[in-house]
Structure 1
Amino acid sequence: MKQKKTLQILLLVFAGLLVLYAGISFYKKNKSSKEDSDQTLITNLKSLTSISYNNNGETLSFEKDRNKWYYSKNKKYPITQSSLESLASTFQKVEAVRELKNADALKDYGLDKPTYTVRVKDKSGKSVIYYIGNATGENYYITYGDKSKIYTVSSDIASGLSSSLDDLITTDTFPTLSTGNLKKILITKNGKTTIYTSKKKNLDGIAGGLGVFTFGDCQNYYASQSDLKKYGLDSDSRITVDITYKDTDTKKTKNIVLYIGKKDSDEKNYYVQLKGSHMVYLSDKDVVKNILN
C-alpha cells in the first residue's frame, strides 16, 4: 500500500514537471522581447532597375537599362558595372539578423534621421525605401517602408554606401614605361613634330617623365568640345605625345597617345587626356615638363 502511494506521488511529480517544461517552452517561444526573433527575410525583390542613396549630403542615383548600369544625371559617365551589381545585390534581398519586438522610438536607433536612405525599384515596378540608422556592435539598425518594423542587419549592408561618384567611375590607366621598353616618341607642338627613338638614344629625359607619369584627379568625366578648349586640349591647342612601346606583360608593340593642355589655375598641374577617352585629368607640372624634355 505504501509503495502504491509513493508511485502515485512520483507520477504526480513527473506530470507536474512535464507541465512546467511545456509552459517554459511555450513562454520562450512566445514571449515578447525587443531583440528575440529568428533570422528574417525583410525583402526579396526581383532584379533591380534603379538604386539611389545619399553620400555626404549628395544623392547618387543609378539606372539599369539593357543589363547596363548608368549614372542617372549623365549616362555617358563610365560606371564600374561590378560595383553597381554588388550594390544592387545587397538591396535586392535583405535578410535581418533579428527583428525588434516592442521597439522603442525611431530616434533611439538613429532612424529618425537615418545615416543612409536607399531607394530601389525592381523590374516588376516594386519600390522600396530602406532607412539605415545607428551601428549596434557588428550590425546596423534598419527599417523600411512605413517604418513600422525595426530590424538589425549585418554591417556589410553599408559597405558600398560610402562610395562617392569618383569611386564608381572606371578611369583610364597608363602603361608602365621606361627606357627599357620605349621604342619611339613623337611630340607635336604648334604644328612641329620632334621624333625621339631608342636607336638615337635620346629618350632618357622623356623616359624619366613617362616612367613616373600618373593621372591625378579627374576634372571632367565626359568633356565636350567647349570643355576641351577651356583646358587647352582642343586639336588646335594641345601638345600631342605619341608613344610606341613594348608591353612588359605581352611583349607586344603597342601605341598610346597622350594629349597635354594648359596649366590649371594654381599652375601646379597640367590638364591631360588620353586619345580616345572623354576624361580629363590633372597631372603634376614637373612630370609633364620632363616628358616634354
Structure 2
Amino acid sequence: MDIKKHRTLFLLGGIFIVLVLIYLALSSHQRGADESDAGEGSQIQVCDLGDLSSFQFTDQSTGTGMSFVKEDGTWYVADDRDIPLAQTYIDAMENTYASLTATRQIDDPDSLSDYGLESPSYTVQATDTEGNTTTFSIGDAAKEDYYLTVDGAQSPVYTVSSSAVSVLQYDMDTLVKKDTMPSIGSGNLLTAEITENGQTTTYSSDDEEQSDTISTIAGGYGAMALTDLASYHATAEELTSFGLDEASRTTVKLTYQESSGSSDSDSGDDSGDSDSLTYTLYLGSDSGDGTRYVQVQDSDLVYLVSSDVLNNLLGTGNSTEE
C-alpha cells in the first residue's frame, strides 16, 4: 500500500512538473508573440491622424530641424514661405507619420534608455487640421527598424521601418524645387548669344567656322547641373554681392530647336518662332571655391556651378560635347 501511495505521488508530481513546463513554455511564447512581428505582410497601426496642417522634426544629435506648414494643399517652410518646395518630399513625410505603422509593439518594455528613447535621435511633431499635435520620439536602430514611442509614453514601445527615419534625412537644398533645364545639345542648339560688359557675341550653328564653338557651348550646358544652391530667393543686395546684378552679370541666351514630342515651355522664353525656344542664364562672379554664381532668368534661386563647366558654356573652354 505504501508503495502504491508513493507511485501515485510520484505520478502526480510528474504530471505537475509537466504542467508547469507547459505553462512556462506557453507564457514564454506569448511574451514572444507580444514582441514579435505582427505577421508576414501585416502591420500594427500606431496612429491615424488624417490630413496634417503642420509638420516639424528635430535631429537631436545636431540640434537642427525643419518646420513646415500646409495651406490649401501646398507645403511651405514655416518661417520662409518664399522658398519653393518640391512637394513630393514633404508629402512623403506626411504620409509616413499621419498614418504610421509599426512592425512590432512591445507592451512591457524595459527602461526607455535601453531603446535610445530617453535621449531620442529624432523628435517629430505632426499637427492635424484640428490643431491636435502628436509627438514621436525615435531611438536606436533595431536591426533594420527603429524604436519609437508616441507622446512620451513609457509604453508601448514600437519598432518602425527605417523609412520613418529616411524621410527625415534631407537637407534644404534637396527639398527646394529647382529650376528645370530644357534638353539642349549640339544637335538642336541654334544660336548662343553671350553678353558681357555690354558687348554681345553671337555663335550660330549655321556658321561652319563656329561649329566647334557651338559644340563646346552645348557640351558645357550638358555638363551643367543646377543642384547646389547659394540662395533660395536672392535679395537685390545678394545679387550684387554675387555679381548677378544687371550691370555686372554675364548673360547667356541659348536659342534651340524643341525636341520632337517634348515641351520646354516652362524652361525658357518663347522666342516668337513656333519652331524654336530660348533659355537664358545669368552668370555671376567667382565664389572662391572653383564655382560661379548662376541664376536662371525670372528665378529667385541662385546656384553654384563649376567654373570649368561655365567656361565651356561661354565657348572659351577646350572641351566638346561627348
Aligned partner letter, 2:215: A
Alpha-carbon contact 2:139-2:146 (below 8 Å) kept: yes
Preserved CA contact (<8 Å) 1:184 1:195 = yes
**1:265 Cα deviation after fit:** 2.3
How many residues in Structure 1 have an aligned counterpart in Structure 2?
272
TM-score, normalized by length of structure 1? 0.84
Is residue 147 from structure 1 mapped to residue 115 from structure 2 by the alignment?
no
Structure 2 residue corresponding to 1:158, chosen from 162, 165, 180:
165
Matched, 1:89 2:89: no
- Preserved contact between residue 206 and residue 291 of structure 1 (Cα < 8 Å): no
Cα distance, 1:32 vs structure 2:
5.4
Structure 1 residue 174 corresponds to structure 2 residue 181: yes
- AA matched with 1:200: D
Measured in 1, the distance between the counterparts of 2:203 and 2:37 equals 72
CA deviations 1:157-212 (Å, max 9, x no partner) are 22201112122111123333332111112111122222221222325324313332
Question: Where in structure 2 are the equivalents of 1:19-168 lying within 5 Å?
Answer: 35=35, 40-55=44-59, 56-149=62-155, 150-168=157-175
Counterpart residue identity of residue 299, structure 2: S
SS at 1:112's partner residue?
coil
Q: Name the stretch that deviates more: 29-38 or 201-210.
A: 29-38
Task: Please report how far the alpha carbon of residue 30 of structure 1 lies from its aligned counterpart in structure 2 after TM superposition.
Answer: 11
RMSD between aligned alpha carbons? 2.6
Structure 1 partner of 2:11 = none
Q: 1:138 to 1:197 in 2, by over 3 A?
A: same
Unaligned runs of 5+ in 1: 1-15
Indicate the residue corresponding to 1:205 in structure 2: 213
8 Å contact from structure 1 (residues 207, 291) kept in 2: no
Runs of 4+ in 1 over 4 A off after TM superposition: 27-34, 36-39
TM-superposition CA deviations, 1:35-61 (whole Å, max 9, x none): 258554221112011111124431111
Is this contact kept in 1: 2:173–2:227, CA < 8 A? no
Contact 1:205 1:291 in 2 (8 A): no
Equivalent of 1:258 in 281, 304, 307? 281
CA contact (8 A) 1:240 1:260 kept: yes
Q: For residue 6 of structure 1, what is the aligned residue in structure 2?
A: none
Question: Percent same amino acid among aligned pairs?
Answer: 34
> Deviations along 1:200-226, whole A, 9 cap, x unmatched?
232532431333233352111111111
**Secondary structure of 1:288's match?**
helix
Give the SS at the match of 1:44.
Answer: coil
Query: 2:231 is matched with which residue?
Result: 220
Shift of 1:244: 0.4
2-structure distance, mates of 1:123, 1:228: 39
Distance 1:83 1:211 in 2: 26
- Unpaired runs of 5+ residues, structure 2, are 1-14, 263-274, 316-322
1:236 aligns with 2:247: yes
Letter in 2 for 1:41: Q
Residue 216 to residue 119, structure 1, CA distance change in 2 (3 Å): closer
> In the alignment, which of 165, 183, 187 is matched to residue 190 of structure 2?
183
Residue type of the alignment partner of 1:69: W
How far has the Cα of 1:261 moved from its partner?
0.9
Alpha-carbon shift at residue 255 of structure 1 (Å): 1.0
Distance 2:102 2:35 in 1: 12
Q: Distance in 2 between matches of 1:64 and 1:45?
A: 15
Write the deviation string for residues 240-262 of structure 1: whole angstroms up to 9, x where unpaired.
11110013353752210010111
Contact kept, 8 Å, 1:271 with 1:280, in 2: the verdict is yes
Letter in 1 for 2:247: D
Specify whether residues 45 and 263 from structure 1 end up closer, same or farther in structure 2 by C-alpha distance, changes over 3 A only: same
Deviations 1:107-138 (A, max 9, x none): 10010111211111000111011001111123
Take 2:139 and 2:177, find their aligned partners in 1: how far apart are those partners?
Answer: 30
